[in-house]
Amino acid sequence: MPSEMCGNSLTAMKSQGMRFAVLHAHPLDESLSATLREQVVETLKSAGHEVNLVRLTQGDWIDTDELESCEGLIFVYPTWWGGLPAPMLHWVQVVLAPWIDHGAPKQTSPLRNVKALVAVTTHGSTRWVNRLQGEPGLQLLKRTIRKLCAPRTKLRWIAHYNIDRSTENEIAAFIHTVGTKLKYLVVE
C-alpha cells in the first residue's frame, strides 16, 4: 500500500458531525492534488461533517478566530522540495507564529480544540529518499503543529511516495485509500 499512517489503530469518528478546516495548496484545479482535495471534502461531508475548504494558492485564508471552532485540521498538498508548498508554509508562519516562535501559551492556541490532525500528501521521490532527507513536512506537522492541538491528538500521515513513477492504478488506489482512511479517524 503506498501510504503510511502515524497514530494508533483506527476507530470510527464521533457520530455527530465535526467542524473541519481543510487547507489545500496547489495552483492547478486539474491536478492530482485537487482530486485528493475533493476526495477529502466529499468524504467528510458524506460523513456529516462541516467543512471549511481553504485554498491557499487561490487567495483563501483562515484566521485564528475561525480555527478556534475547528475540531479537525487537514492539510492536502504535494510535497515540494521536501516540505510544504510555500503558500501553506507561509500560512503556518503567519497564523501560528505566536505559538511556535513567540512563546504564547499553548492553552491559547487556535488549534487547542483540534482532535483530528491529518496530512494527505504526495512525494515525487521514494519513501527511502524522503526518510534520508528527514521528511521535513512530516516533522513540522508532527513536532510543531500537533503540539498546538488538543491533548492526545495524533497526526494521521497519509502519503503516496514515488508519484512520478506510479501507475494509474496505483494512483487510483491511493485516492480510494484517502477516502477510506478518513472515514475511520480516531477522535476521542
85-106 confidence digits (pLDDT tens): 999 999 999 999 999 988 899 9
40-94 confidence digits (pLDDT tens): 999 999 999 999 999 999 999 999 999 999 999 999 999 988 889 999 999 999 9
Give the domain CATH number at 30. 3.40.50.360
Q: Assess if residue 9 is contained within a domain.
A: no
**Under 8 Å CB-to-CB from 39, ≥6 apart: which residues?**
175, 178, 179
> Among the listed ranges 24-33, 122-131, 179-188, which one has the minimum average pLDDT value?
179-188
Please say if the pLDDT value at position 186 is more than 90.
no
Number of domains in the chain: 1
110-129 confidence digits (pLDDT tens): 999 999 999 999 999 999 99
Q: Assess if residue 130 is contained within a domain.
A: yes
Q: Assess if residue 188 is contained within a domain.
A: no
Cell numbers standing for residue 7 = 497514530
Please say if the pLDDT value at position 1 is more than 60.
no
Q: Assess if residue 126 is contained within a domain.
A: yes
Q: Assess if residue 4 is contained within a domain.
A: no
Asked whether 82 and 51 are in contact (CB, 8 A), the reply is no
> pTM of the predicted model, to two decimals?
0.89
- The parent domain of residue 79 ranges over 19-182
Q: Assess if residue 133 is contained within a domain.
A: yes
Q: Assess if residue 47 is contained within a domain.
A: yes
Mean pLDDT to the nearest integer, 28-41: 96
100: burial class by Cβ within 10 Å (0-12, 13-18, 19+)?
middle
